[in-house]
Chains A and B, each alone.
Chain A
Amino acid sequence: MNERGEPGAGRMNAGRAGPELAIEATGLAKSYRDVRVLSGVDLRVPRGTVFALLGPNGAGKTTTVRILATLVQADAGQARVAGFDVRRDRSRVRRRISLTGQFAALDDVQTGTENLRMMGRLSGLSRAAARRRAAGLIEQFGLTGAAGRRVATYSGGTRRRLDIAASLVGRPSVIFLDEPSTGLDPQSRLAMWRVIEGLAASGVTVFLTTQYLEEADRLADRIAVLDAGRIVAEGTAAELKRTIAARRLDVTGASRAAFEELIRHFGDRAVHVDDGNLTLGVPTEGDAAGIRALLDAADPDRDLVADFAVHGATLDDVFLTLTGHAGHVKESTHA
């Protein structure tokens, strides 16, 4: 599933696979002082698709995005974005991409409209064209009510929407979104997802990073899992889920002896063991028949399992399955 090319093995020379790929990176490495942040990241993102880079805090997601968006230079490796080398053709890449980071790139004391017009002028639009473009984006992003107010008065969700709108002023063909829904309340998160789905429908390439499996699952055509600076898995959501399962069945032993018998039964299928609460978790598709079968097989006499729960697999489960170690993400940090 994780198709890894030899670093620098010729396919970077566009021509063969180049034209269809919006992003192509091989062997990206980056260290800050003694800390190795990325060690050999390979990525291939076809044009017009949504790609999610999934990983916990500190995995190197932001560094990867900043390298691809030409803001940081990699120590090693190569990357082409929108058909151009991020190092040699930085300006050409910049004219074709946009980046929305975790911190709003807006002036708080300017209004929404003023911010958009300024970005339009900086992307080379005439005054009149910038005005039209700002008006169009305000309408498209449902910002009509807020556009005349200063950004300082905006809610987190509105600010993020304006931030993405501002990144689109120059009509980029590749859009980078670094943790677009982090810190948003559930309602704003849904609104953000609809915005991203709208972007995808318009035909641009979207590259987003996220800590949430659920988000990658809903939005992305393909997902790469980044752990400690390496891609540990890559594929469609369905492919990934086949290895990690979408849900987790947690069973709680009726006693310590029962708990230990359950551990023996599930063996290394258990992706979660909570000794204190006598609970262990195993991956499952989440359907009733599957869960019944799991329970029956583990507890044929119906006296070992005192309680059970089914919930969505967390990124921790993904990491445990893929890497054999916990990803150090907070369990369900969904706001």
Chain B
Amino acid sequence: MPDALIMAGRSLRLSARSPEALLTALLLPVMLMVVFVYLFGGAVRIGTSYVDYVVPGVLLLCAVTGASTTAVTVCQDMAGGIIDRFRSLDVPGTAVLAGHVTASLLRNFVSTLLVTAVAFGLGFRPRASAAAFAAALGVLLLFVAAASWFAAAFGLLVRAPEAANSAMFFLMFFTYASSAFVPVRTMPSWLRGFAGHQPATPVTETIRGLLLGHSAPLPLGAALAWCAGIAVVSAAAAAVLFRRRTA
């Protein structure tokens, strides 16, 4: 079995025993869903049912909060002695990091199912085929992978797990300043340019379009390019940072 899978199993076990990681993965998504639909939903008028509009946004928000757990776990590993043990067992640094990212994907997969189930309970009625559902899930998980690699690199950059936690706020900002919760056209003009051209917007639009069966062409290419680009650049940066931290 490749080292990365053993590492993923380890990361999952650590998450399952970390109250923080569990709350972030299971309770927070449900709360966010309820908060957006009931608290903000009443005030937002966008012409369609807000729950249908906001589900992709909440999925994205959960994805970034879940992915940012990766920054904390990576940072904790680097602060303790265990990385030396892994290295002296000749486990490559990339395997350790890939293990954390894989665990993040699985945690987020569970969160996504949970959020979707809650959304159905709140009146979410997608008009998507099974294939479109699967495609939306695929795009979301690719986004999670990108955000997790970014968080892994962030966790290597900072020295304290508390500081690593701030990766969440950084990532959350991108979700808020996108079409995840309100249409970009309702934003002030200075923000519109940014919101329309940053990764969270095409990802949200693609997932929303797939779930709601929009006939307009989806920005799928932009979404995939952003996610793949961020994942590749972050993974490369993480590998370099890992080598530098352990030199």
* Listed stretches A104-112, A271-279, A318-326; interface member: A104-112
Q: Which of B6, B14, B81, B90 contacts A110 (CB 8 A)?
A: B14
Contact B246 A170 (CB under 8 A): no
A97 with B88: in contact, given A71-B246, A109-B14, A110-B14 (CB under 8 Å)?
yes
Most buried by B among A70, A99, A107, A167: A107
A91 with B246: in contact, given A106-B82, A110-B14 (CB under 8 Å)?
no
Does A166 count as interface, using CB distance less than 8 angstroms?
yes
Bound-complex Cα distance A71 to B13 (A): 27
- Interface size of B in residues (CB-CB distance below 8 Å): 22
Contact A122 B80 (CB under 8 A): no
A170 with B14: in contact, given A103-B80, A104-B81 (CB under 8 Å)?
no
Q: Which of A101, A119, A121 contacts B81 (CB 8 A)?
A: A101
Contact A105 B84 (CB under 8 A): yes
Q: Binary interface profile of B, 1-28, with partner A (CB < 8 Å = 1, else 0)?
A: 1010010011001100110000000000
CB contacts (< 8 Å) of A90 on chain B: these are 90
Does B247 count as interface, using CB distance less than 8 angstroms?
yes
Contact A70 B88 (CB under 8 A): yes
Contact A94 B88 (CB under 8 A): yes
Q: Which of B6, B17, B90 contacts A118 (CB 8 A)?
A: B6
Most buried by B among A102, A109, A167: A109
A–B complex contacts, Cβ < 8 Å, 20 sampled:
A70-B87, A70-B88, A71-B84, A71-B88, A94-B87, A94-B90, A99-B84, A99-B85, A99-B88, A101-B84, A102-B81, A104-B80, A105-B85, A107-B10, A107-B14, A107-B82, A110-B13, A118-B6, A119-B85, A167-B85
- Using A72-B247, A107-B14, A121-B6 as known contacts, list a sample of 12 further A-B pairs with CB atoms less than 8 Å apart, ordered by residue number in A: A73-B247, A91-B90, A94-B90, A98-B88, A102-B81, A105-B82, A114-B13, A118-B10, A121-B1, A122-B3, A122-B86, A123-B89
